[in-house]
């Protein structure tokens, strides 16, 4: 067994107990809501973590890139939702993946133009294409408002296209990350559900089956009053949590399962700062947590062994490979001598983890496994 001391820094460390607890909490929540969980693997991008999230060797997942779809399909996952509006140039690769593995890679679209292009693509001999219409439930990123007249038009285009099946609707209330007020998150969650359900009803009223009604973001799945009418819930960041979620009260610091192990490489006594070997690349430059937690910086600095926050330490400035940590007094130079290890709780774990090749899995103080990630496109 390896100890933390034996790892090269900077690197990602994931606490297996916290990870399991986070996974089980969300599985129980989905069960209580009466919906299937389709975890978004864009956060962990790891087969092992997806399996923990599902409590099974495979199951429905959500991906953010076709490379993820290919990676998970190669590991036996055969029910995959690719949840970024399909770029037409990606259809051949998606169809090839389906043909090669037998997995179903559902995709999303939100315009008549794309629906027509998908129909034209299917006409070239590609069958088994399964589309969902993306609904805008308030985030105003992509998707159609539930009452947009294009909704039945798209459905009609797809219904007329041999080889293409409209399987349902999906929406993502990403604006749930924009508040720390539980009542507001609940209102957003309820609006997310209502938008998806009403879009599905509109489609059904036009004669389309619409079996899938998919919603989700970690905060909305946790805060929704109920999910009647919804069939699938998507969430991702809950497997690791991060300061952005903690800043909104959606998790506690003790739930955060992924951290960046780093070495103290310098004592800048004049400036009153520790220098870490984790900088902008190892941590990312996401500072979203600071909206509601102004002292979060680029991440809280924690004890390497316990992952307890060494309050008030945070990484306040990053260069490519340097992180600067102001200390309130010189005693910290003795507490954290040059060469010490610390762990940095990420501001936004999806961004932080993306810089790393994989996870060192920590259990009872020992590194018990290494799990790879699938980065890129």
Binding interface with a copy of itself (CB under 8 A) = 5, 8-11, 42, 64-66, 84-90, 93, 110-111, 113-114, 117, 136, 140-142, 145, 174, 263, 265-268, 270-271, 275, 277, 280-282, 284-287, 317, 319-322, 324, 337-339, 350-351, 354-357, 375-377
Shortest distance, CB of residue 266 to a copy of itself, whole angstroms? 5
Nearer to a copy of itself, 33 or 118 (CB): 118
Nearer to a copy of itself, 64 or 214 (CB): 64
Residue 276 has a CB neighbour count (10 Å cut-off) of: 30
Name the 3-class secondary structure at 47: helix
Q: Where do the DSSP E strands lie in the chain? A: 11-15, 36-37, 61-63, 79-82, 104-109, 129-135, 164-171, 212-215, 232-233, 258-268, 273-276, 299-303, 309-314, 317-318, 323-326, 341-346, 358-363, 366-372
Nearer to a copy of itself, 172 or 231 (CB): 172
Shortest distance, CB of residue 118 to a copy of itself, whole angstroms? 11
Q: Cα(266)–Cα(311) distance, rounded to whole angstroms?
A: 19
Shortest distance, CB of residue 245 to a copy of itself, whole angstroms? 15
Nearer to a copy of itself, 23 or 275 (CB): 275
Name the 3-class secondary structure at 171: strand
Nearer to a copy of itself, 50 or 282 (CB): 282
Shortest distance, CB of residue 285 to a copy of itself, whole angstroms? 5
Nearer to a copy of itself, 9 or 58 (CB): 9
Shortest distance, CB of residue 147 to a copy of itself, whole angstroms? 12
Shortest distance, CB of residue 57 to a copy of itself, whole angstroms? 26
Sign of CA dihedral 8, 300, 285, 70: positive
Q: Cα(44)–Cα(175) distance, rounded to whole angstroms?
A: 21
Q: Cα(166)–Cα(133) distance, rounded to whole angstroms?
A: 8
Shortest distance, CB of residue 40 to a copy of itself, whole angstroms? 9
Q: Helix count (H) and strand count (E) of the chain?
A: 12, 18
Instruction: Using the structure block, give the residue that is written with the tokens 């932080």.
Output: 352
* Cα 167 to Cα 105, 107, 128, 197, 261, distances in angstroms: 12, 10, 11, 14, 43
Nearer to a copy of itself, 204 or 285 (CB): 285
């Amino acid at each position: 067994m390896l100890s933390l001391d034996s790892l090269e820094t900077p690197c990602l460390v994931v606490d297996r107990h916290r990870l399991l607890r986070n996974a089980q909490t969300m599985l129980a929540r989905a069960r209580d809501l009466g919906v299937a969980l389709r975890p978004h693997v864009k956060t962990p991008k790891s087969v092992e973590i997806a399996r923990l999230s599902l409590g099974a060797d495979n199951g429905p997942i959500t991906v953010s890139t076709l490379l993820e779809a290919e990676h998970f399909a190669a590991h036996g996952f055969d029910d995959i939702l690719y949840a970024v509006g399909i770029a037409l140039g990606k259809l051949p690769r998606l169809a090839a993946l389906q043909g090669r593995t037998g997995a179903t890679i559902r995709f999303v679209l939100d315009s008549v133009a794309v629906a027509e292009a998908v129909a034209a693509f299917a006409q070239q001999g590609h069958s088994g294409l399964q589309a969902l219409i993306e609904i805008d439930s308030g985030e105003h990123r992509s998707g159609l408002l539930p009452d947009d007249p294009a909704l039945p038009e798209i459905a009609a285009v797809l219904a007329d296209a041999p080889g293409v099946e409209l399987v349902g609707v999906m929406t993502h209330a990403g604006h749930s990350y924009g508040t720390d007020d539980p009542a507001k998150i609940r209102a957003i969650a309820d609006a997310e559900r209502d938008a998806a359900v009403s879009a599905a009803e509109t489609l059904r009223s036009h004669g389309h089956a619409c079996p899938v009604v998919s919603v989700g973001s970690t905060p909305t799945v946790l805060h929704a009053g109920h999910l009647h009418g919804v069939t699938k819930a998507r969430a991702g960041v809950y497997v690791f949590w991060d300061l952005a979620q903690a800043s909104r009260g959606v998790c506690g610091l003790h739930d955060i399962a992924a951290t960046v192990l780093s070495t103290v490489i310098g004592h800048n006594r004049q400036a009153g700062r520790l220098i870490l070997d984790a900088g902008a690349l190892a941590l990312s430059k996401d500072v979203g947590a600071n909206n509601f937690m102004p002292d979060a910086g680029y991440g809280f600095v924690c004890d390497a062994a316990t992952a307890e926050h060494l309050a008030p330490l945070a990484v306040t400035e990053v260069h490519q490979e340097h992180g600067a940590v102001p200390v309130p007094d010189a005693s910290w130079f003795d507490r954290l001598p040059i060469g010490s290890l610390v762990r940095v709780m990420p501001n936004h774990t999806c961004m932080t983890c993306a810089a790393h090749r994989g996870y060192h899995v920590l259990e009872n103080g020992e590194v018990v496994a290494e799990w790879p990630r699938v980065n890129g496109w």
